[in-house]
Amino acid sequence: MQHQSWRPDQYNTHASFVSSLGSSVVDLLQPQRGERILDLGCGDGTLAAKIESAGAKVVGVDSSPEMVKAARARGIEAYVMSGDALTFNGEFDAVFSNAALHWMKNYPAVIRGVDAALKPGGRFVGEFGADGNIQRLISGMEASFARNPDFGTFNNPWFFPSESAYAAALSSGGFAVDHIAVIPRPTPLTTGVREWLRIFADHVISGFTQEQTERFLAEVEDDVRAYLYTPEGGWVADYVRLRFAARKS
Ligand code: BEZ
């Protein structure tokens, strides 16, 4: 599989909905003045800054050096670190994560690292893609690969668990689950499905020629149009979220 890379400027233009919609996860976190909070997959630091505005101190980690640079430019203490190889030890009151855990397929290692990073009783609060998330988009990508042998093999890089599977993973990782819910959330893509694919399926197209990229984008757009586009509503992606709040027990 090709490497997924991130362009903070493009992300800001075409995917600012990610942090806008993440505000309600910050509400679930209820950050308190003086708390030390780890933002796992902090991206460009938009939500970390919101958490800090409540008086907490945030440390952000992200596997993308470009995103860490953007978070630091916002004044957030941030480090390049993979979510399945966290190196913190008992120093955080809470770990927060928005729209990032679905990129971390080795979820037992992520949960172990979060557990190690938390103080006793610390909170793990997050939201990410649930089972069924972007199913139409994935089917469109798979269909395009099936039609075009020169594209190679489609490797789905995402982890979208069911509510029961993730609750079980949290419990066996030593967490008490206070809240977990699946939230269908059709999400408008104001700049269209092609721009979404360019940003979020960058790992899929990064090895393509220009011509292959255009063929892929056109085919996926055609494939999903009947499900994700209306003249009145424009493009709306089939997002389904898994939102949870757990405590280290
Ligand atoms: C999501 O936020 O659900 C998501 C974003 C990019 C790729 C896959 C899922």
As a three-state string, the secondary structure of the chain is CCCCCCCHHHHHHHCCHHHHHCHHHHHHHCCCCCCEEEEECCCCCHHHHHHHCCCCEEEEEECCHHHHHHHHHCCCEEEECCHHHCCCCCCEEEEEEECCHHHCCCHHHHHHHHHHHEEEEEEEEEEEECCCCCHHHHHHHHHHHHHCHHHCCCCCCCCCCCHHHHHHHHHHCCEEEEEEEEEECCEECCCCHHHHHHHHCHHHHCCCCHHHHHHHHHHHHHHHHHHHEECCCEEEECCEEEEEEEEEC
Instruction: Tell me which architecture the domain covering 8-248 has in CATH.
Output: 3-Layer(aba) Sandwich (3.40)
This prediction has a pTM of 0.92
* Residue in 98, 102, 198, 220 to alter for ligand 1 test, most ligand atoms within 8 A of Cβ: 102
Average pLDDT over residues 107-124: 98
Joined tokens for residue 87: 């190196």
Among the residue ranges 14-18, 52-56, 81-85, the one predicted with the least confidence is 14-18
Per-residue pLDDT of 180-207, as tens digits, reads: 999 999 999 999 999 999 999 998 998 9
Ramachandran area for residue 174 (φ above 0: left; ψ -120 to 50: alpha; else beta): left
Give me the residue spans of the domains in the chain. 8-248
The C-alpha atoms of residue 194 and residue 147 are separated, in whole angstroms, by: 18
Using a 6 Å CB cutoff, which residues line ligand 1?
Answer: 99, 102, 129, 133-134, 158, 200, 239
Residue with tokens 């069924």: 132
Place 105 in a pLDDT band, splitting at 50, 70 and 90.
Answer: very high
Query: From residue 8, how far is each of 73, 96, 117, 136 by CA, in Å?
Result: 11, 20, 27, 26
Measured in Å, residue 91 CA sits from the centre of ligand 1 at 29
Measured in Å, residue 201 CA sits from the centre of ligand 1 at 9
Measured in Å, residue 229 CA sits from the centre of ligand 1 at 18
* Residue in 137, 158, 195, 204 to alter for ligand 1 test, most ligand atoms within 8 A of Cβ: 158
| Residue 220, pLDDT above cutoff 80 | yes
How much is the pLDDT for 1? 47
Measured in Å, residue 200 CA sits from the centre of ligand 1 at 7
Q: Whose CA is nearest to atom 7 of ligand 1?
A: 200
| Residue 25, pLDDT above cutoff 60 | yes
